[in-house]
Amino acid sequence: MAMNKLVGAAVRRPGWADLPRDLLESVLGRLPVPDRLRFPGVCTAWQSADAASATARFRAAQPPWLMLPFNPTARRQSPSGGGGGGGGGDGRFLEARFLSLSDGRAYAIPQPAPAVSERICVGSSDGWLVTADAASELHLLNPLTGAQVQLPSVTTLPFVDASRDADGRVASYDLRFCFGDGDNDGDEVLVPPESFAPDRLRYELYEKAILVAPPRRQTTPAGSWGGYAVLLICQPLYRLAIARAGDTKWTLLDTPSRCWVDAVRASSAPAAADGHQAVYTLDSVGRVEAWDMDVTAAGTTPSPPREIAPPCCCSGRACSMSIPCSKYLVELSPGHLLQVHRLRDKAHARSKWEPRQERVEYTTVKAELFEWNAAAGGHGEWARVDGAAAGILAGRALFLGKSASLCVPADCCPEVKGNCVYFTDDGPWSHERCHEVVPDVGVLDLADGSYKVPRGAVRDLLWKWPPPVWVFPSCTN
């Protein structure tokens, strides 16, 4: 009896479920992504803390993930309902696989319809992907949470027309090519439009999409997404178009005779209270301009940009067009710009891991860096940076591709090495190339010029579709 009284009077010791909510949320914001996804499965208290902080961003810098090509033997799942914020289709899910650089492991995460195997990714920023589906329509997708936002139709671009069948479905697209003719007082000369099947237009039209502002969950109407803005680099002639929350169509920016190749959101001028965000754009000759974009003013056209830096020329070999060259713009720190010229050469020069070498087209062999040195009075110059010296990239790594061009601290995870360029394939796309050619994905060490494939990715890169892309995860939902 005495023992029973003692047991009954015993006070239960606090356990993990009794940790204060604010402490749980603080821990949650610092966890790496795999642990962040496992967190709510510990107990109901932790699940509640996860739900309460679902709108908070990670406080700690998250190691990048590599979205791997689709394995055609993967099993489709057919849940009873739709999911992930809509997007149409029959509710089928298809798991997408992501390689975490922090532990070299691949994680499979269910994705909403339309199936990820039917999309290509034309942009990646703030944990969101900009994807083009089999009808060449664009969606914002958070691959961790399944949240999805449909962007204005491709037919709202002024040079795209759709032909529809009797049921209203798109049967084909017509893409009109136009360019200015200096001998005709600026009149446009029209080339006969070219017709594409619904799933083929995306290969010809979309070059890259940049998230000027990420989506935010709105209270009115409940559950909707707002506050976002997407800048699109598209054909013909590498034009710029923008779409914001509330827009029903893409707004084409008037940039005649300019071919844009990259753009980055300026950290030196974060979005102001009135919704204005500075954006740097890079053209094909290496010139940089700055835009002041109002992400809240749906349907409006930004003011003309101002020039920040003049053209930048790479080495004589690249400029002679003897090998392909892609240009990227990176902001190392507020106002500190770096231009990266990625040089490719014929296959087999560096890639020894590929067992079917006839399926390799080009591999990245070199990266040339140019630092913008501003001077008093607004003048300055691009200065060539010696990558072997590990100067401005000491302790930092570059991530390039269809994703936002980023410079990341090497200490974000043990597998990220400083003075290296991590790249994914973003070369000219075609239906045949995407499905038949092994993607150009790897890590280029600037110190010695060596090339390797990210640890854990060799087997998965035997698959080809869709082309892999860097993702910097976010559980914002």
Does 117 or 45 have the greater pLDDT score? Answer: 117
* Ranges 29-33, 253-257, 322-326, 354-358: which has the least confidence: 354-358
311 with 257, same domain: the answer is yes
Question: pLDDT value at position 169?
Answer: 92
> In sequence order, what are the residues at sequence separation of 6 or more whose Cβ sits closer than 8 angstroms to the Cβ of residue 2?
none
Per-residue pLDDT for 55 more than 50?
Answer: no
Q: What is the pLDDT of residue 188?
A: 60
Does residue 9 surpass a pLDDT of 60?
Answer: no
- Do 349 and 283 fall within a single domain? yes
Range of the domain at 356: 61-471
- The answer to whether residue 341 sits within a structural domain is yes
Q: Last residue of some domain: 60, 77, 95?
A: 60
- The pLDDT tens digits for 377-420 are 667 889 998 877 667 888 899 999 999 999 998 887 878 889 99
Q: Which two tokens stand for residue 88?
A: 């149409």
Query: What's the domain count of the chain?
Result: 2
- In the predicted structure, residue 154 carries a pLDDT above the cut 80: yes
Please give the pLDDT value at position 334: 86
How do 138-141 and 239-244 pair as beta strands? unpaired
Give the C-alpha separation, 189 to 167, whole Å.
34
Q: Which residue shows structure tokens 């996804």?
A: 37
For residues 415 and 353, state if they share a domain: yes
Query: For residue 156, what pLDDT band results from cuts at 50, 70 and 90?
Result: very high
Span 421-444, pLDDT tens digits: 999 988 777 766 677 777 888 899
Q: Does residue 3 sit within a domain?
A: no
Residue 118 pLDDT greater than 90, yes or no: no
Most confident of 5-14, 282-291, 386-395: 282-291
| pLDDT of res. 350 | 47
- Token readout for 18 is 């009794």
pLDDT, tens only, 132-153: 999 999 999 999 888 999 999 9
Of residues 134 and 63, more confidently modeled = 134
163: enclosing H helix or E strand: strand 160-164
Find the mean pLDDT for residues 335-340: 92
Considering the domain architecture, whether residues 254 and 322 belong to the same structural domain is answered as yes
Is the domain of 66 the same as that of 30?
no
Residue 331 structure tokens: 């902001």
10 part of a folded domain: no
Pairwise CA distance, residues 426 & 234, whole Å: 14
Assigned token pair, 19: 């940790």
Residue 157 and residue 282 in one domain: yes
For position 51, what pLDDT does the model report?
Answer: 64
Say which range, 47-61, 146-160, 300-314, has the weakest mean pLDDT: 47-61
In a domain, residue 309? The reply is yes
Domain assignment present for residue 293? The answer is yes
**Statement: residue 291 has pLDDT above 90:** yes
**Residues above pLDDT 90, as percent of the chain:** 36
Nearest to 473, CA basis, from 6, 14, 37, 7? 37
pLDDT at 67: 92
Least confident of 27-41, 203-217, 442-456: 27-41
Percent of the chain past pLDDT 70, that is, above it, reads 72
Same domain, yes or no, for 154 and 51? no
Residue 117, φ and ψ in degrees, nearest 5: -70, -10
CA dist., res. 101 & res. 442, Å (int): 12
In this predicted structure, what is the pLDDT of residue 335? 84
Query: CA 425, 471, 277 angle in degrees (round to 5)?
Result: 100
106 and 207 within one domain: yes
Range with lowest mean pLDDT among 55-69, 149-163, 215-229, 360-374:
55-69
Q: CA–CA distance from 471 to each of 86, 161, 252, 423, 468 (Å)?
A: 21, 32, 27, 12, 10
Residues 329, 288 contacting (CB under 8 angstroms)? yes
* C-alpha R_g of the chain: 24
The candidate with the shortest Cα–Cα distance to 259, out of 204, 337, 179, is 179
d(CA 275, CA 270): 9
Pair 206, 353 in one domain: yes
Question: 261: which 2 tokens?
Answer: 């190749």
Q: How many whole angstroms separate alpha carbon 78 and alpha carbon 80?
A: 7
Examine the pLDDT at 56 and tell me if it is beyond 50: no
Residue 5 falls inside a structural domain: no
My answer on whether 54 and 98 are in the same domain is no
Task: Give yes or no: residues 133 and 150 share one domain.
Answer: yes
202 lies in the same domain as 221: yes
> pLDDT averaged over the chain?
79
Per-residue pLDDT at 352 exceeds 50: no
Label residue 237 exposed, middle or buried (CB < 10 Å: 0-12, 13-18, 19+): middle
The answer, yes or no, to whether residue 351 has pLDDT greater than 50, is: no
- The whole-angstrom separation of Cα 133 and Cα 250 is 17
Phi/psi-derived region of residue 358, left when phi > 0, alpha when psi is between -120 and 50, beta in every other case: alpha
Mean pLDDT of 267-281: 76
In a domain? residue 1: no
Can you give the pLDDT at residue 190? 64
For residues 453 and 429, the answer to whether their CB atoms sit within 8 Å is no
**In this model, does residue 322 exceed pLDDT 70?**
no
pLDDT for the residue numbered 269:
60
Domain assignment of residue 9, yes or no: no
At 305-320, the pLDDT tens digits run 999 999 987 765 555 5
Q: What is the pLDDT of residue 398?
A: 94
The pLDDT value recorded for residue 270 is: 58
Neighbours of 474 (CB within 10 A): 20
CB 241 within 8 A of CB 157: yes
| Per-residue model confidence (pLDDT) at position 86 | 40
pLDDT digits (tens, 9 = 90+) for 203-262: 999 999 999 999 988 877 767 898 999 999 998 889 999 999 999 999 999 776 689 999
Which is more confident, 271 or 300? 300
- Res 184: pLDDT: 47
